[in-house]
Structure 1
Amino acid sequence: MNAMSGRKGDREYVVGLDIGTSKVAALVGECNADGQLGLIGYGQH
């Protein structure tokens, strides 16, 4: 799994992408003030 983080405004996002042989999955999370990660979205095809 490959992950990278980016920053937009005052929010910090974490994005994960998993490219397999039969499925691609992605998820987006947001770091809160306590440093915990909350899931914003998930998709697969």
Structure 2
Amino acid sequence: MRPRRYPYSGKKESTFVKADPKLVEKILRNTSFLERLQAVLATKL
């Protein structure tokens, strides 16, 4: 498995936003940018 840092953060982000915009909004309000990225990765796995 490769480290999930920058490889495809853009594509994953777009897909996630399209998949669950409400979730992204909640994460954006409750956590910081880095925390949001971690949450997105955790939700994808």
Common fold: TM-score over 0.5: no
The structure that is strand-richer by fraction is 1
Greater helix fraction, Structure 1 or Structure 2: 2
TM-score of the superposition, structure 2-length normalised?
0.22
Name the TM-score, length of structure 1 as normaliser: 0.22
- Structure showing greater relative contact order (alpha-carbon pairs closer than 8 Å, 6 or more residues apart): 2
